[in-house]
Structure 1
């Protein structure tokens, strides 16, 4: 009885022993090579200054693909018909793709955002109808912190599918103000007072130079455009300060900011 069992074992070892050893060697060596190639890919992306999240993601994808190839080669060494396995794997991938098509769309959009980098973490942007500071660029969603400290998770497909306004991409920004004064006011005096206010604020840049000019003879006022340049981080503080300073100074020197008004003439008939 023992001899019969041993004979069966010897038969299987003779038939499959070398194949099993070959499959084990292929799997072990394949994993080592896959890990080495993955590390190489990550180092190359780090040297190219790619985004950390993108580098990690591409490294994981590279390792996963290489590991699948190693497993298929190992099964082939055992004598398994890998064509059937590949077909099943392809069908499963296709089914998963249809089931998760929306998430895959967000995934692909996230990949493009990390690759082309229209904005970075810490930038203030406007995208998909939402404005805020970028807290995180994920593979499926982008996290924005709004001005009132709310977190908004925007699907990446919505972000990349529309216009993206990056307010932090440049070091400087232009403030656009429209200031209306009365038709009775001295326009040269108005310009002089506005220039005095601009020149007294050190946050306003000299180059590019600000613009102060008459832009419109409106129904109830003469409208000036006031366009100073500031550093991006100073935009809102300077914006609010200028409005307050202009109103306060105009009150002091007697320059009026008129309300909308209409002259009505009554005609009396006998």
Structure 2
């Protein structure tokens, strides 16, 4: 079949015209996409720095949370820019948003426990039930806080053992913070024989407390009868110290109280001797 040169020329001319129109159209789209990417990248960086600096003006706002929220804002802007760029080329953005939502839901279900730890970490960093360096007890976990992260918290026990506790575990239980208030109460209880002078024993304990610089004067230390036995009287010395001095003061005052009672002739009753075991004679 013979090809008509005139028709072939017209077809080529039409194709070139369509290609030219398409190139021009996509050139503008490409230029617009590049401009959107550049502007979006700059805006995302400015927004990140602004959020980070703005949260820094909030008193005691955690550094980790500042970085976390500023990064979230940055990546959210970048995702929005990418969707707008795809829209420049005629891509249906509604389907992309739906796909992103489905992917996010799937990831959320797969990482449910991890997301709980992140949410708990955000609450721990925001509300600050404990800080780095504080001594706490949360359920069966006790130790000194070394690091608070978005996923887990690092602690060091009194025995020097390393503990990595998930944040959700720490958030869902009552927290006993031994360092937060700055002061702690100490009690030393000793038993003396009921034949001793109780007033003299109380004055001895109060004199020990008055001589100890780590014991606070307000509230003043007190000595009182804690309990009565058949042949014993339990005396308690109650005082307040700083949280950092609590343990060392307790062990020092216990030793000094025993030494003071010995020097004052205030006897501490000994446990009764064990009854002798009867001999079993062989028949």
TM-score w.r.t. structure 1 length? Answer: 0.90
Q: Classify 1:57/1:239 alpha carbon distance in 2 versus 1 (closer, same or farther; 3 Å).
A: same
Give the alignment of 1:56-205 within 5 angstroms: 56-205=67-216
Corresponding residue number in structure 1 for 2:261: 250
Deviation at 1:107? Answer: 0.7
Would the aligned equivalents of 2:206 and 2:237 in 1 still touch at CA under 8 Å? no
Deviation at 1:122? Answer: 1.1
Corresponding residue number in structure 1 for 2:33: 23
Give the alignment of 1:1-20 within 5 angstroms: 9-20=19-30
Would the aligned equivalents of 1:19 and 1:79 in 2 still touch at CA under 8 Å? no
SS of structure 2 residue aligned to 1:118: coil
Deviation at 1:220? Answer: 5.3
- Find the aligned partners of 2:89 and 2:230 in 1 and give their Cα distance: 89
TM-score w.r.t. structure 2 length? Answer: 0.86
SS of structure 2 residue aligned to 1:148: coil
Query: Which contiguous aligned blocks of 4+ residues in structure 1 show a shift greater than 6 angstroms?
Result: 3-6
Q: 2:45 aligns with which of 27, 35, 52?
A: 35
- Find the aligned partners of 2:17 and 2:270 in 1 and give their Cα distance: 108
Deviation at 1:260? Answer: 5.7
SS of structure 2 residue aligned to 1:175: strand
Would the aligned equivalents of 1:141 and 1:154 in 2 still touch at CA under 8 Å? yes
1:30-81 Cα shifts (integer Å, max 9, x gaps): 1111111111110011111311111111111111112111111221222210
Deviation at 1:172? Answer: 1.4
How many equivalent pairs are there?
262
SS of structure 2 residue aligned to 1:135: strand
Deviation at 1:11? Answer: 3.4
Unaligned runs of 5+ in 1: 265-270
Would the aligned equivalents of 2:132 and 2:146 in 1 still touch at CA under 8 Å? yes
SS of structure 2 residue aligned to 1:223: strand
Larger Rg: 2
Would the aligned equivalents of 2:206 and 2:222 in 1 still touch at CA under 8 Å? no
Deviation at 1:7? Answer: 5.7
- Find the aligned partners of 1:154 and 1:226 in 2 and give their Cα distance: 37
1:126-153 Cα shifts (integer Å, max 9, x gaps): 1232221111001111100111222100
- Find the aligned partners of 1:84 and 1:162 in 2 and give their Cα distance: 43
Would the aligned equivalents of 1:220 and 1:261 in 2 still touch at CA under 8 Å? no
RMSD: 2.2
